Amino acid sequence: MKNPVLEVIKSRRSIRRYLPDQIKDAELAAILEAGAYAPSAHNEQPWHFTVIRNRELLDRISDKSKELMAAQDTDWIKKMGQNPDLHIFYKAPTVVVVSTRLGAMSPKVDCAAAIQNMLLAAESLDIGSCWIGLARYYFSLEAERPLLGIPDGYEPFYAVTLGYKAQRPSRALPRKKDLVNYLD
């Protein structure tokens, strides 16, 4: 079945190389609006989006995250934190921090839905994106949180990188089989 939404879902890949140019304001607004239209438990819409385009702040978040990662017991996280070439945001020109209102009914699920909407909207505009969980190390630093300007009563969960693609990934890897059973 040919359908533009299904085609975008199938073609979206995590992008880890970006051109240095900022995406257009209209493109960013469309991506953020897509996030705001995500479903949420009891229509709480508990998310808050913080857009960061400041290179010094993005580098600081990456550096501090890597310091904490390098001190972890899990080998692969430790190795990533020790990698001098790693930038946790892959030097994307724009990063969106997705936070949730404290006390929300289903905060991580709601934020995940908003992120997925943003990732798909970005792909539909031919903008690269990647869901970043490693920023949680930085988010754990209470003294650093004021730098993010997140409103009181909100907690940051994840980040999303956005930028024009410097790489064009090939086709999707094969999908796992036997994922569905029917009870008719």
Tokens of residue 53, six digits:
């385009």
Alpha-carbon span 8 to 34, nearest angstrom: 14
Contact yes or no for 37/121 (Cβ under 8 A): no
Angle at 116 between CA 110 and CA 120, to 5 degrees: 150
Alpha helices in 15-148 (DSSP H): 25-36, 55-70, 75-82, 107-124, 136-139
CA 137, 141, 144, 149 dihedral sign is positive
For residue 97, list its beta bridge partners: 50, 159
Q: What is the tally of helices (H) and strands (E) in the chain? A: 6, 4
pLDDT one digit per residue (tens) for the chain, 184 residues: 889 999 998 889 999 999 999 999 999 999 999 999 999 999 999 999 999 999 999 999 999 999 999 999 999 999 999 999 999 999 999 999 999 999 999 999 999 999 999 999 999 999 999 999 999 999 999 999 999 999 999 999 999 999 999 988 877 778 889 889 999 9
Distance between CA 69 and CA 81 in Å, rounded?
5
Domains of the chain, earliest start first: 20-164 (3.40.109.10)
